Structure 1
Amino acid sequence: MKWSSLITDFEHFLRLERGLSDNTINNYNYDIKRLISYLNDNYNHIVSPIDISQGTIQQFIYTISKDLSARTQARIISGLRNFFDYLVFENYRETNPVDQIESPRLGLKLPDTLSIEDIDQIIAAIDLNYQFRGVNLGHRNKAIIESLYSCGLRVSELTHLKISDLFFQEGFIKVTGKGNKERFVPIGKSTQKLIKIWLDIRKQIDVASEAKDILFLNYKGNQLTRAMIFTIIKKLVEKVGLKKTVSPHTFRHSFATHLLENGADLRAIQMMLGHESITTTEIYTHIDKSQLNKVINTFHPRK
């Protein structure tokens, strides 16, 4: 069997059987293709996914470990393990060659967060008069940043948010998360107001047929890409001179951290973030504890 046909079958399995998002599937694909590239560069013959050995994969991991972080290595090992698990499941192989390969130990990586002052500074830097090709995009950008922070959205959830998902009268929006799982997230009046302003501006755009129900659009009337959201945020961070690495996910982390610091229930935060397991949400308790340690070390007389 060829790599290409098995990868295609694996994609269908991940999408249809496991309900994974396109982003997750693309990451799996990227990791497998990195292995294929290594094989093409280092072997004179075609190494089949059916016959590849544990030793070959170990050598691949050793080679890439020189240039990649432990976290990236662990992700690649996990992706390959899932791929070969699928091949075993479908009886293409008897064993998984990645099973005995250990992932590098990872320390606890706390998410980067912004202070409330940081967020206020970024939002204040948005030029509400900014127009491109006759379309006011300043109000759109402000609604985007506010939605990321006030609702704790993933970037893919933001770009796929629909007008029909807005239930302002009830004070909620419907969010489609990983695995197409839906959840309802509260949305504040101030963010609702910003979205309503954008909706009025949006009426002036010639919207593409496939984006009629998509909330946030570019000036051409097409759905915004993830890359465009990253670009909007990058320019704002540079504008205010903030010396932090800020991505759309930073606003999501800040949303959860600020809720926890102000006494919100961890279970409620889990539901709003759309985490399948409470253990995923519990990482924010470590952030809160580190903040408590900082308070003790700064203010306690016997620190």
Structure 2
Amino acid sequence: MAQLAAERDQAHIDRYIDALWLERGLSDNSLQAYRRDLQQWSAWLAQRDSGLLQCGRIEVLDYLADQRSGGKSARSTARLMSCLRGFYRYQLREGRLSDDPLANIDAPKLGRPLPKSLSEADVEALLAQPDDDIAIEQRDRAMLELLYATGLRVTELVSLRFAQLSTAQGVIRVTGKGNKERLVPMGEEALYCLQQYLRCARPQLLADGESDVLFPSRRGQMMTRQTFWHRIKLYAQRAGIRGTISPHTLRHAFATHLVNHGADLRVVQLLLGHSDLSTTQIYTHVARERMQTLHSEHHPRG
């Protein structure tokens, strides 16, 4: 009897995996992960004399509780629930079930992961890598300084035009998501590097050609995001910075360091171009972690 129930469950799993492959074209790795989750769920139910199409809400809750107590993270549990939810919706659609055992069961809330950032020392090391005697690297230095000074998105940076720049006022006019404009101050160091680049390196890159792109490629055209990502990766390797680094990492560093130094969150929101303050509030968690680390390192009772 138990063998027959196990074979029935396996047949249900096989049909569902075939449907996933046909309908969604998932990779072999994804299909194997779905199959593994469903087989483990089936085996757990079999120990309780139940099956995939005989279980109810209580058994689902007990299984999820077992998974969490066994050390599964909230993210893994959420992925498992997504797998089970898809399986039972398929059974309902095929008419093999009349009630969904996962109805009214919420997935665990996933905290927003803290953005990867760089320490201030890492940023200094990164910005020191480009060689100002090489035109392309002087351009890169101006871009890195500007990115860290303003927190621009990489698309906003590579698409900057001359008309958006005011060296006299020390600001740039940026059109961000939703075509929303914002004015962002550059800071003295970024402005100085930018002026040096405009005076020396940019004319060399254009080779007497013309372009309204502020940071042209060697061909005098707008640089791609991917190209700039590779340039940052080069300087990170030179600086000995480990781990993945991207233009977005410098945007996060800009916001994190501002908050760490006491900047008002609404000011950071305006500088980043966030439409909603809740998006910016992630940096309060970063700052809080930093304060906790400093407290534990330096306070006599930390």
Please provide the CA RMSD for this pair: 3.6
Matched, 1:229 2:208: no
**Which one-letter code corresponds to 1:177 in the other structure?**
G
Matched, 1:220 2:219: yes
- Quickly say closer, same or farther: Cα 1:265–1:207, change in 2 above 3 A: farther
Post-superposition shift, 1:57?
10
Identity rate, percent:
37
2:187 corresponds in structure 1 to 188
8 A Cα contact 1:183 1:274, kept in partner: yes
In 2: Cα distance, 1:199 partner to 1:102 partner: 56
Indicate the structure (1 or 2) with the bigger Cα radius of gyration: 2
2:7 corresponds in structure 1 to none
* Equivalent residue in structure 2 for 1:115, among 91, 116, 119: 119
1:245 corresponds in structure 2 to 244
Q: Secondary structure at the match of 1:108?
A: coil
2:21 corresponds in structure 1 to 42
1:129 corresponds in structure 2 to 133
Instruction: Identify the range of structure 1 (197-206 vs 237-246) with the bigger mean alpha-carbon deviation.
Output: 197-206
In 2: Cα distance, 1:196 partner to 1:64 partner: 56
Post-superposition shift, 1:155?
0.4
Deviation sequence 1:79-131 (CA, Å, 0-9, x none) = xxxxxxxxxxxxxxxxxxxxx9977742331111112211111111212223x
**Which one-letter code corresponds to 1:118 in the other structure?**
D
Post-superposition shift, 1:65?
6.4
1:140-179 matches, within 5 Å, as 140-179=139-178
In 2: Cα distance, 1:158 partner to 1:293 partner: 34
Runs of 5+ consecutive residues of structure 2 not aligned to the other structure? 1-16, 35-74, 83-103
- Quickly say closer, same or farther: Cα 1:138–1:103, change in 2 above 3 A: farther
- Quickly say closer, same or farther: Cα 1:125–1:185, change in 2 above 3 A: same
In 1: Cα distance, 2:216 partner to 2:272 partner: 24
Taking structure 1 as the reference length, the TM-score comes to 0.64
8 A Cα contact 1:207 1:221, kept in partner: no
Q: Secondary structure at the match of 1:258?
A: helix
Q: Secondary structure at the match of 2:189?
A: helix
Q: Secondary structure at the match of 2:174?
A: strand
**Which one-letter code corresponds to 2:294 in the other structure?**
V
In 2: Cα distance, 1:64 partner to 1:143 partner: 48
In 1: Cα distance, 2:132 partner to 2:264 partner: 35
In 1: Cα distance, 2:220 partner to 2:294 partner: 49
1:33-112 matches, within 5 Å, as 42-43=21-22, 63=31, 105-112=109-116
8 A Cα contact 1:207 1:222, kept in partner: no
8 A Cα contact 1:208 1:222, kept in partner: no
Runs of 5+ consecutive residues of structure 1 not aligned to the other structure? 1-37, 48-55, 78-99, 131-135
Q: Secondary structure at the match of 1:203?
A: helix
In 1: Cα distance, 2:105 partner to 2:221 partner: 44
- Quickly say closer, same or farther: Cα 1:140–1:41, change in 2 above 3 A: same
Deviation sequence 1:4-35 (CA, Å, 0-9, x none) = xxxxxxxxxxxxxxxxxxxxxxxxxxxxxxxx
In 2: Cα distance, 1:146 partner to 1:195 partner: 8
**Which one-letter code corresponds to 1:203 in the other structure?**
P
Q: Secondary structure at the match of 1:174?
A: strand
Post-superposition shift, 1:299?
2.3
Post-superposition shift, 1:167?
1.4
In 2: Cα distance, 1:192 partner to 1:39 partner: 59
- Quickly say closer, same or farther: Cα 1:104–1:208, change in 2 above 3 A: farther
Deviation sequence 1:206-253 (CA, Å, 0-9, x none) = 5877xx221111111011000011101101111121123211011111
In 1: Cα distance, 2:208 partner to 2:113 partner: 41
